[in-house]
Amino acid sequence: MGKLVDTGRWIKGAWLLVGVAVLLFCFLEGSLSLALFIKGRIAGSEPAYDWRVRADAYSDRSWVSEYYREFRSSDAVYWRPYVYWRRGPYQGKYINVDSSGLRRTTAPQPQGAGRPLKIFMFGGSALWGTGARDAFTIPSILVRELHNRGLHADVVNFGESGYVSTQEVVALLLRLQRGDRPDVVIFYDGVNDTYSAYQQHAAGWPQNEFNRVKEFNLSADLPRMRAMALRELTTRLATVRALGALLRSAGIRSTVDSGAASGRRASGEDVVAAYSGNLGLLKALSEHYHFKCLSYWQPTIFQKVSLTGYERAERQKAQPFEQFFTATYSLVRGGRLPQSSEPLFHDLSLVFSDVRQPVFLDWVHIGEWGNEVIARQMATDVIGVLAPGRARASSSRLSAH
C-alpha cells in the first residue's frame, strides 16, 4: 500500500513539474513573441535596411535608402512553368515590374518613324538591376546608348534573380514559341552558372534544385512530410528565433544539409561545358529564327585588383567560394569558350580589374556607373553585328573621349 502511495506522489510531482515547465515556456514564448512584434512594428515604420546602403559605389545617396525599401518590397517571386519563378508586379519610384514579371526599361522618345530594333536581354540579378534604379539598369542604359548613336531600339529586360543560362534559354524558347521574334538577343551570365555548380556539386542546374527534389517527393513519404511540417512550425517559435540570433551573434552557425548532389564535385570544366552547350543552342536558334546573338561573361569582385575598404569586406564574405570562381573564370579567360570563331561570346570578367574607383555593391552586383561601362560595350557590339562599319567609327569616337 505504501508503495502505491509513493508512486502516486511521484506521478503527481512529475505532472506538477511538467505543468510548471509548460507554463514557463508559454510565458517565455508569449513575452518573446510580443517583443518581436513590437520590434517589427518599430522597424516597419522605418525604411527597410540593406547592408548595401553603405556601398561606396554610390556617389549620390539621396535615393539609396528608399530604393532598398522598394527592393525588399518587390522581391517576392511566383511560380512560372519551365523557368520556376519570376517576380510579381510592382510599382514604385525606382523599381517597376509589369504583370509578366519583367522590369521596366526606360527609353528616350524615338526620332522619326520606322520599326525599332527589338532586343531581348537575359541574365540574373545583375542584368535585372539589383542596386540600380529603373533608368540605370544595363538594358535601360543600352537603349540610351543606341539612341545616342542613331539607333532606335526596344529592349526587353528578361533578367531575373538567380537565373542560370539554361533557364534563360528556356525563357527565350517560350518567347519564340509565342511568335515574338527579336532582332538581337543578349545573354549576360557567369555568376549564377558558376555558383549553382559550387552549391549543388553539379553544373547546369538551377539554383536550389535540391529543394524542389525534396518537395516533389514529399507526397510519397508522409512521415517525412509530417517531420518537415513540425520542423517548419518549430522554426516559427519566438524562442527558437531568439536562440538562433544569440548563437549567430556568438559566431555559432548551424550546419544544414543542403541536399547537394552526391558523388564527384562539379569542376570549372563542367561549368564551361554546360555553358558552351547553351551557346551552341543559342547559335542554332539564331540561325533558324534569324536574329543576331551576343553573350557576355560577367565580372565579379574577385577580378578587381584595387579594392576599397568596403569592397575588401565584401570580398571576404565570399571567401568560401572564391577559389572555385577563380578556377572557373581562369578557364574562360583561357579560351575554353568560342571567342574567336564568331562575335557570339565576349569575356567581360576583367573589365574592372584595373579600376581604382569603387564599383561593387557586394561580390557580384555593381553600381550604376559600372552598368554604364557594361552597356556601352554592348552598344558597340550590337552595332557591330548589325553594321560593322558603324561599330568601328563608334568605337573610335569612344576611345577619343
Work out whether strand 90-91 and strand 96-97 pair parallel, antiparallel, or are unpaired: antiparallel
What pLDDT does 242 receive? 59
How many of the other CB atoms lie within 10 Å of CB of 400?
6
Work out whether strand 345-347 and strand 117-123 pair parallel, antiparallel, or are unpaired: unpaired
Contact assessment for residue 268 and residue 291, using Cβ atoms and an 8 Å cutoff: no
What pLDDT does 114 receive? 74
Length of the chain counted residue by residue? 401
Highest mean pLDDT: which range of 149-153, 248-252, 263-267: 149-153
Write down the pTM of the prediction.
Answer: 0.79
The SS3 of residue 360 is: strand
Average pLDDT over residues 243-266: 52
User: Using one digit for the tens of pLDDT, what is the confidence trace for 330-348?
Assistant: 999 987 665 544 568 999 9
pLDDT at 228 over 50: no
Closest CA to 140 of 96, 172, 173: 96
Detail the DSSP E strand segments found in 15-71. none
What pLDDT does 343 receive? 61
Q: Which residue has the higher pLDDT, 27 or 358?
A: 358
Average pLDDT over residues 258-272: 71
Cell of 137: 539598369
Q: What percent of the chain clears pLDDT 90, i.e. is strictly above it?
A: 62
| Cα atoms in the 13 Å half-sphere on the side-chain side of 200 | 20
Contact assessment for residue 314 and residue 249, using Cβ atoms and an 8 Å cutoff: no
What pLDDT does 248 receive? 46
User: Using one digit for the tens of pLDDT, what is the confidence trace for 97-136?
Assistant: 999 999 999 988 766 667 899 999 999 999 999 999 999 9
Chain centroid offset of residue 8 CA = 62
| Cα atoms in the 13 Å half-sphere on the side-chain side of 298 | 30
Closest CA to 134 of 157, 111, 153: 157
pLDDT at 256 over 60: no
What pLDDT does 401 receive? 38
CATH topology for the 51-203+266-400 domain:
Rossmann fold (3.40.50)
Q: Which residue has the higher pLDDT, 309 or 258?
A: 309
Contact assessment for residue 121 and residue 127, using Cβ atoms and an 8 Å cutoff: yes
- H/E run at residue 294: strand 292-297
Distance CA 146, CA 150 (A): 6
pLDDT band at 217 (very low <50, low <70, confident <90, very high): low
Q: Which residue has the higher pLDDT, 242 or 313?
A: 313
Name 24's Cβ contacts closer than 8 Å, sequence gap at least 6.
Answer: none
- H/E run at residue 243: helix 238-249
Q: What is the dihedral of CA 315, 66, 126, 290, to 10 degrees?
A: -170
Write down the mean pLDDT value for the chain. Answer: 83
Name 52's Cβ contacts closer than 8 Å, sequence gap at least 6.
Answer: 68, 131, 361, 362, 365
Average pLDDT over residues 3-15: 66
| Cα atoms in the 13 Å half-sphere on the side-chain side of 352 | 29
pLDDT at 25 over 90: no
What pLDDT does 214 receive? 65
Closest CA to 151 of 392, 396, 391: 391
pLDDT at 146 over 80: yes
User: Using one digit for the tens of pLDDT, what is the confidence trace for 347-401?
Assistant: 999 999 999 999 999 999 999 999 999 999 999 999 999 976 554 444 444 343 3
Distance CA 321, CA 158 (A): 27
pLDDT at 149 over 60: yes
| b/e map 285-308, b = 16+ CB within 10 Å | bbeeeebbbbbbbbbbbbbbeebb
What pLDDT does 34 receive? 62
Q: What percent of the chain clears pLDDT 70, i.e. is strictly above it?
A: 70
Cell of 215: 518537395
pLDDT band at 261 (very low <50, low <70, confident <90, very high): very low
- H/E run at residue 118: strand 117-123
Question: Which of 10-19, 125-134, 177-186, 196-205 bottoms out in mean pLDDT, i.e. has the lowest?
Answer: 10-19
